[in-house]
Amino acid sequence: MDGKSLTPNEVKLKQLQELMPEVFSEGKVDFERLKATLGEDIMKASIMV
């Protein structure tokens, strides 16, 4: 450990990367991959908003 604390956003991104490594490209979220992975679930959520 380098003594640096993670920000809340960094913690969330790390958790997401552990759960869904396939949606990351070069250490960043690839939203096209995320949409493809979630499929219809993400479409239903956007309709409900």
Is 7 among the domain residues? no
In sequence order, what DSSP letters do the residues of the chain get, joined into one string?
A: --SPPPPHHHHHHHHHHHH-GGGEETTEE-HHHHHHHHTHHHHHHHHH-
Q: How many domains does the chain have?
A: 1
Per the structure, the complete domain to which residue 30 belongs is given by 22-49
Which of 2, 24, 3 has the alpha carbon at shortest distance from 13?
24
For 2-31, write each residue's pLDDT tens digit.
678 999 999 999 999 999 999 999 999 999
Is 3 among the domain residues? no
Is 5 among the domain residues? no
Is 43 among the domain residues? yes
pLDDT at 44 over 80: no
